[in-house]
Structure 1
């Protein structure tokens, strides 16, 4: 079942109350004037959600899966902003391009100092084969910008957007694939091998891009200056890849535009305003590029999200 929710309130207190009533959290404090939204769907035993909030603090008591009464894991993929998560005496800070996990059968809380957007994947612990990583493993932020976990995030993000158009058997099948990708991501992250220097530099570049996508000056020159290397070095880091560095920036900006076009919290913003914010100054050029990437125009994409 698809669930779409957006606050509609004249005050921060009422916005917090609406979010608390919908999510069932123990404590919610939304501390700015931005509307908050959530979009999610179940894919078999796997629940995918995308949440967008302004400055906030949320606390949750221990919970078991509502249907199976089993312990569950919740994976957080930070897409925008910064979020601090606390559980079992530990604090984790995740930034755009990073992921981590928490146990839902243990109390936890999280807060964000400004606007943030997260994709979450929740599933029963039993779906992950033993031996599973320990608590210390879950509580470390890792990059999701390469490897199996990058495919996992991209697939989960697309599934959240299109879940309403799929049949229950199709959603069940996709949920199974999400679990398989998660297993691959966990095995890769637990292999004990350290990434080589080239991979670490690539990760640093990709993380810098995620943090600065809204900056109109973002490009090879800006990245090279910020990371203390030459433009030629940057291009060599991405030799042999399917996309150039410029294309990676272009695609990520289109991804952000699609996220906001389908987010109820941004319903009042025009397509042109969203495109301009993410660096597209020509509306017609943006519309053509958007359709080439997603198969629909920005207007069609927004209308489909409203319909479902």
Structure 2
């Protein structure tokens, strides 16, 4: 996590950096002071103090500052964030307001992580980062939901999705069980998902893979084997799980787990790099 500040009008273009899937980053930008415009792939967002946005390091982007500005940059592994979110690809250059709700909590946690990094143990740092990622994921999801038109079919879809989410470990989970629980026909269940361009089985597999992705990146579950995690979330064949995981995330479960733990430690070290805070910049981190 790095702090940048500027007291002059500036415009910067950041060219695409050719990285492989393991090094590609999701840049989380938190605005600490001033008004700043960020653009990527034809999308433009304007941030003021407290706001947050996401940028894909694998694509060109720009930043336009009109005066006294300061912001925090946090680089997170793209494949890690992609697995955390309900959305693919990650929504870029979209403003997450820090004026109220979870956005306010996200901003407070961002600045607190930066201020208190030196006082956190490795375990505390890992827990703080995990909390930050969960809130960030929720904020991104809320932002995406706000941009969608919510109708009756969407309400039913969300009810079904909630049921699936709470029954993922059930190996018998499928259209028949879902239809019975929702009080609708099996055909209706299939129709709800066909409007999303996927089958019921596709959705269940997707959610199971993302839960496995989350657990495999959690250092607190290091004592659980990959097979145990996969079977807990409803898979019943290790080879099939490995193939599905690699097809979804572009990396096999074992290699992903190794990188995820290393990235967790790396993020912790980045947060602990407190030396970039000069005395004149500390004011940006004080509550307004």
Q: TM-score interval w.r.t. the shorter chain?
A: 0.3 to 0.5
Considering fraction of residues, name the structure with more strand: 1
Whose relative contact order is higher, 1 or 2, with alpha carbons under 8 Å and at least 6 apart? 2
TM-score (norm 1): 0.44
Indicate the structure (1 or 2) with the bigger Cα radius of gyration. Answer: 2
TM-score (norm 2): 0.47
Considering fraction of residues, name the structure with more helix: 2
